[in-house]
Amino acid sequence: MTSQAYLSDLFSLDGRAAVVTGGSSGIGRAIAKALARAGARVVVVARGKEHLEETVGELTDAGGTAAWVAGDLGTRAGVRAAAEEAAGVFGEPDILVNSAGINLRPPLGELGEDVWDTTMAVNLQAPFLLGQRFGPGMAERGFGRIIHITSQQAHRAFVQSGAYGVSKGALESLARSQAEAWSPYGVTVNTLVPGFVMTPLNQRLSSDPEKVAALAARTMTGRNGLAEDFEGAAVFLASRASAYVTGQSVFVDGGFSVH
């Protein structure tokens, strides 16, 4: 077997169907592109049709197979509708990536119930409902990959973690519960933990050069993250190469968490 054939067998996603929420921007978009380039048929789920069309256009222009579903993941009805529509495009997914998120972080003393409820709905409830919809089917078929995108705030509080940090910490706990339930049947569940990444979700901090520089100085690589830094880790966790990796929080942060 040639090295190319070996690597293709180990990491190829040919024949797999994937659903990527939040896949029209930032980390989710980079992951959607990576999965498509690795051979998966990718359904991108997000709210804005313009960005969805642009993303899917890029994927198909590059030779990938992709489609989009516009949906509101902030309500149970919206999540369920988006899930059913996504499953109807390329069939029941083998890979679910939960990258959609909302980053509202007022000072804790000013955090109202509306911000709390909205944050939990998008960052925690939607991944739970999507897991409940797709996880059992993956287990029945004997293969599945669920990947959640969390945050440093799941492990440490800084820059006003607020409800956002709580939601991401709970999401990592959800991943472990899902792994416990479904990994005996071939479904792995893991989280990717970014450092500070220059994406629209972090626009508030990205617009402050001093804070951006200070965060870069906290890494071991001397720079902040880019969305494309997650491509390799996502393909690994989505492929058969990661069959014995489950319930884990995989830090992709340039050493931010250990420096």
pLDDT in tens, 89-135: 999 999 999 999 999 989 999 999 999 999 999 999 999 999 999 99
- The half-sphere exposure of 222 on its side-chain side, counting CA atoms within 13 A, is 0
pLDDT for position 232: 98
Neighbours of 236 (CB within 10 A): 17
Task: State the Cα–Cα distance between residues 21 and 40, nearest whole angstrom.
Answer: 15
Is 97 in contact with 21 (CB distance < 8 Å)? yes
Residue 186 to residues 134, 234, 246, Cα–Cα distance (Å): 13, 17, 10
DSSP line for 117-130: HHHHIIIIIHHHHH
Instruction: Tell me the C-alpha to C-alpha distance, in Å, between residue 202 and each of 50, 102, 177, 208.
Output: 21, 10, 28, 11
pLDDT of residue 204: 65
169-194: average pLDDT: 98
Q: Which of 84, 120, 92, 252 is nearest to 187 (CA)?
A: 92
d(C-alpha 200, C-alpha 89), whole Å: 28
Whole-model pTM?
0.95
pLDDT for the residue 157 = 84
* Residue 247 near residue 173, CB atoms below 8 Å: no
Q: Which residue has the tokens 């804790």?
A: 108
Q: Where in the sequence numbering do the catalytic residues fall? A: 164
pLDDT recorded at residue 202: 65
Give me the pLDDT at residue 259, please: 86
Amino acid of residue 209: P
pLDDT tens per residue across span 29-64: 999 999 999 999 999 999 989 999 999 999 999 999
DSSP, collapsed to helix, strand or coil, labels residue 255 as: coil
Buried b (16+ CB within 10 A) or exposed e, 108-147: eeebeeebeeebbbbbbbbbbbbbebbbeebbeeebbbbb
CA angle 11–14–20, rounded 5-degree value: 85
With a CB cutoff of 8 Å and minimum separation 6, the contacts of 136 are 182
Q: What is the pLDDT of residue 161?
A: 85
* CA 185/CA 182 separation, integer angstroms: 5
Angle formed at CA 91 by CA 73 and CA 35, multiple of 5 degrees: 70
